[in-house]
Structure 1
Amino acid sequence: MPDQPFDNTPSAEQAVAEGLERALALLHACSTAHGFVASPGASQNYHRIWGRDGVIIALAALQTDDGELRETARRTLQTLATYQGPHGEIPSNVDPGTKRISYGGTTGRVDADLWFVIGCGEYWRATGDDAFLERLLPVIERVRFLLGAWEFNARGLLYIPLTGDWADEYLHNGYVLYDQLLYLQVSTATFPDVSSPLNRHLS
């Protein structure tokens, strides 16, 4: 009887464990003194703190029990808050070393503002850090005011201008579903006790 071929395919448990190990290693590779960079690769463009990418990475970090990663999540939010624009806009990306700030496109990035508020809420839920949230409340309120300015029709929907989110190379504007879903998350899940036009229109 011929020998059976050797099967070195990992089990489901082994695959999950390896995937988690690699994911944690990547999170640590993206961790810096100012927060999470978008990528540890060679491109300097991604060695910045990005409003969208940094917060998404921070959300992953908050799912772990790793104190260092959770601290980097806090630093990410703090860096973005520090470089908030005069009208409440959260940077699309910032290089704290050179102080170079981009708010993105000609109108800013709506999704960077939304991801920032979501990140603040999830950080607070995960850590119970009331003092940090209290310090950032004025920043969050300025973001909320700016979001209100984009809600031209007072119907709970954000009007997204051209180049107004991450897909800035695509010619889309108006009531983009991606941004509305983020706004829904901000209005109903992140701080559900805060009255908002969107809450009123959904009730």
Structure 2
Amino acid sequence: MTTVTKKRKPAEEGAAVFDRDLDELPQELRWREWMGRIEAVLFASAAPVGREDLARVVGQGAPIEMLIDHIRAELNGRPYELAQVAGGWMLRTRTQFADAIKAAADLGDQPLAFTEMEMGVLCAIAYHQPIDRAGLADIFGKEVSRDLLARLRYKDLIASGPRSPRPGAPHTFVTTETFLVTFDLQSLRDLPELELRGESI
């Protein structure tokens, strides 16, 4: 039996190779193009974009943090900003325009709304993750409903974590990247200190 291996086309025969380095451009034009590429990628993404992803559109060893700083400077006075959240960067509207956005047609339903219990459970998971339902029951003194946890999962704020070492190895819950973005956190280390009975933990 004979097997046939398809030969790959040389790069010059296929699509044009993406030029990251832009060596043919003068320094100033190259810098502006890199800034434009980064801003375009951030504009097109609904989630934070990490450094490795941004590095794919600029030259080898390009100072991404400096490019980010220049974009931030250019956005001064604009109704949106470049923010660092959840281990990456994203474009978002400035907080002083929140009321205007809520007043706009069909946009008022976008902000996430929480009941007091939902927020309490979300905080418990954030501070004690990975945690299972029994662990949440220990904190609240009662069972936490599956429906409440399903709502938090539907909002993409929590996900399944590793199995618990308890008998039966129940599922645990952890927070997600969406949780970090929603509450403007770079990482879980940015959670405020939790005070219990006068002591911080």
Q: TM-score, normalised by structure 1?
A: 0.31
Q: Which has the higher strand share?
A: 2
Over alpha carbons, which structure has the higher Rg? Answer: 2
Q: Which has the higher helix share?
A: 1
